[in-house]
Structure 1
Amino acid sequence: MSDYNKRLVEHFIQLSWNTGRYNLLQHLVTHDFVYHTSFAEGFKEFDGFCDYLKDIRHAIPDIDVSIEELMAEGDKVISVSTFSGSFEKPVFGMQPNGKIVSFTGISTWEVRRGKVKSQNTLVDIAELQRQLMVPAQRKVG
Structure 2
Amino acid sequence: MHESHSTPSERAVALATEFLTRVWGPAHDLEAIDELMTEDYRIWSGGALVAGREPFKEWVRQFQAIYGDAHTEIRETFANAAGDRVVSRWYNTGVNKGIFGLPPDGRPVSFTGIAIWRVEGGRLAECWVERAALESYRSLTE
Show the 5 A alignment for 1:1-141.
1-18=8-25, 19-38=27-46, 41-73=48-80, 74=82, 75-87=84-96, 89-133=97-141
Identify unmatched segments of 5+ residues in structure 1: 135-141
SS at match of 1:55: helix
Q: Distance in 2 between matches of 1:92 and 1:130?
A: 10
Please tell me the root mean square deviation across aligned C-alpha atoms, in Å.
Answer: 1.6
What does the per-residue CA deviation read over 1:79-124, in whole Å, with 9 as the maximum and x for residues that have no partner? Answer: 111110121x214523334211110111100111111111110111
Alpha-carbon distance change, 54 to 35 in structure 1, aligned in 2, over 3 angstroms: same
What amino acid is aligned across from residue 49 of structure 1 in structure 2?
A: F
Identify unmatched segments of 5+ residues in structure 2: 1-7
**Contact 1:55/1:91 (CA < 8 Å) preserved in 2?**
no
**Contact 2:39/2:52 (CA < 8 Å) preserved in 1?**
no
- Count of residue pairs brought into register by the alignment: 132
What amino acid is aligned across from residue 101 of structure 1 in structure 2?
A: V
Alpha-carbon shift at residue 2 of structure 1 (Å) = 0.5
Tell me the TM-score normalized by structure 2.
Answer: 0.84
Q: Distance in 1 between matches of 2:101 and 2:62?
A: 12
Tell me the TM-score normalized by structure 1.
Answer: 0.84
Identity of aligned residues (%): 25
